[in-house]
Every structure is written in C-alpha cells, then in structure tokens.
Amino acid sequence: MDWTAVDAYLEQVARSEAEVLSPAGERLKVGVDLGTAYIVIVVLDENDNPVACEKRAASVLRDGVVVDYTGARRIVGELKAALESRIGRALTQCAIAMPAGTETSVKTHVYVAEGAGFEVIRVLDEPTAANALYRVSNGAIVDIGGGTTGLAVFRDGKVIRVADEATGGVHLTLVLSGNLGVPFAEAERLKMERSNHRKILPIVKPVLEKMASIVRRHIDTAETSALYLCGGTCCMTGMEEIFETYIGFPVFKPANPFLVTPTGIAMNCVMASDTCGGGSLCSSQS
C-alpha cells in the first residue's frame, strides 16, 4: 500500500473542513458517519476527490447505537445545511455505515439520515467502508471508534468475516479520568492532544491490549498476516506498536486514521449493488 498517497489524500479531506475544493463533474457523493464521539459528513465529487467536510462532537450514540434520535437528527441536519451553504448545492443522497455486528440498529441510523433530509442509498459496515480507501485484498481492517472495536477480514478482496465489540475511545478516557483524578471532559481533552500521547500511553495500555485481544480472538493468523487500523481512537500515538506486539504481525495506520471511515462511506455512495464488496450490511436502499 502506498501510505504516502493515502496520507496525501486524507490531508486533502482534512483541508476540505476549512475550504471547499472544486468538484469535477455534477454528481456529489456523501458519506454520513454516526459515531459515538463525533458525527462526520464527507462530500466527494464523482471521481472521489474531496470537496468539503464537516464534523461535530456528539454524545447521541452509545457503542454504535443511537440513544438520542432527536439530537442525532438535529446534528446531521445542521451539518448538512452547513455543507450545502458552503458548496452552494443541495445534498440529497448519502451512504451510511454501521459498526459490524449492529444490524438491528440499521433502521434507526437510516431514520436519522432521512429525518435530516437525505435519501439513504447505501448501508454497509464500517470496516468495509474503510476498505474503499485501503483496498486491502488479504488482511484485516480494524475500525476503533469512540464506542466499539470492529473488524472485517478480507480474502481476495472479499469480506469473509466481521465482528464488533463494545470497547473504544470512551473507555480510554474513563481509565485516564480515573487514573489522573480529573473529570471526563478534561481527560478527553488530554487524550485528544497528540503531545500528551507518549505520557498517557502507559496508563491506557491495558485498554489498548483489550482491544488487541478482541481482534486476535476474531482472526485466524493462518489467513491474516497484517492489520490495517482506522477510526478516531487509532490516532493514539504508539497504539499500533502495542497491537503489533500483542498480536504478532505487522500493523499499519495512516497519519490521520480518523477520516478513513467517513471518507470510505462517501466513496460507497453509489446505487449499484455489485460494488458492495460483500460487507455484511452492504445493501441498496430504495
């Protein structure tokens, strides 16, 4: 994988938070990522070039499940309106993604996006969405967000297994808060500052090892020889080294793993079902 190219592309996505990048063609592709800690909407042009991005810290989901429907719909609607104002065009269709293994919550996620004015045309699991960017043929993509650790194992470019468990960035913050004796919000702020990562890594290491144990439990080392990380929690500096030591084979991540999944969701904003890639939730909405 050309990580230099991946990092350069994600840098463009991040840049689109501050400025609108000129789209090629008429069609826009939209990805709505409903996360435990953040809600993110990424807009790409028809050639997958970044156009604009908006995000908002939110606590309307827990472990990948919507617990505040009204709040989630309001935030998605506000982000959609902000993007439409910036781009000067209406955004009508979107793709969404779910943590692997949360199929029972699909309808609620769809209702949130529809309530904000979108037509949902694709639903897929988060690791499969991430693979639109990574293009892993053989290996496992691990998406660690605020509430869950999800993974998809790929063989010959097809998903052969998905799994998800409720351990994520929120759990790192809780451990940090208890260890340092500071409020949750202060611990979250400390965690978000990259300059603090090396100092706090020993404190949160047991939680990261638990995440690694979840991954190891769901993969067969005979069929998987590399892990590819994404998700906001993977921004923690040095966590890939803990995973690599614990699991025993190479672990890779880009410079900005936070934007991988929402960007991959947007890349999947197409109607054709034959481009699904075999994800467990992958479907077209009519």
CATH fit for domain 134-258, picks 3.40.50.150, 2.60.450.10, 3.30.70.260, 3.30.420.40: 3.30.420.40
pLDDT the model gives residue 25? 83
pLDDT the model gives residue 98? 86
pLDDT the model gives residue 101? 66
Q: Which residues of the chain have pLDDT under 50?
A: 273-278, 280, 286
pLDDT the model gives residue 277? 47
pLDDT the model gives residue 225? 83
pLDDT the model gives residue 286? 40
Give the ranges where the chain is alpha helix by DSSP (H): 3-15, 69-87, 106-115, 126-134, 169-180, 184-192, 197-218, 239-247, 260-267
The gap from C-alpha 162 to its chain's centroid, in whole angstroms, comes to: 15
Beta bridge partners of 97: 124
Within the chain, which residue ranges are assigned CATH 3.30.420.40?
Answer: 3-130+259-284, 134-258
**Per-residue tokens: 202:** 């020993």
Phi, psi of 241 (to 5 degrees): -70, -40
**Per-residue tokens: 109:** 């996620």
pLDDT the model gives residue 281? 54
pTM of the model: 0.89
pLDDT the model gives residue 119? 97
pLDDT tens digits, 34-86:
988 899 999 999 999 999 999 999 889 887 788 999 999 999 999 999 999 99
Asked if residue 77 lies in contact with residue 41, where contact means CB atoms within 8 angstroms, the answer is no
**In the CATH hierarchy, which top-level class contains the domain 3-130+259-284?**
alpha beta
CA-nearest of 22, 9, 273 to 124 is: 273
pLDDT the model gives residue 176? 96
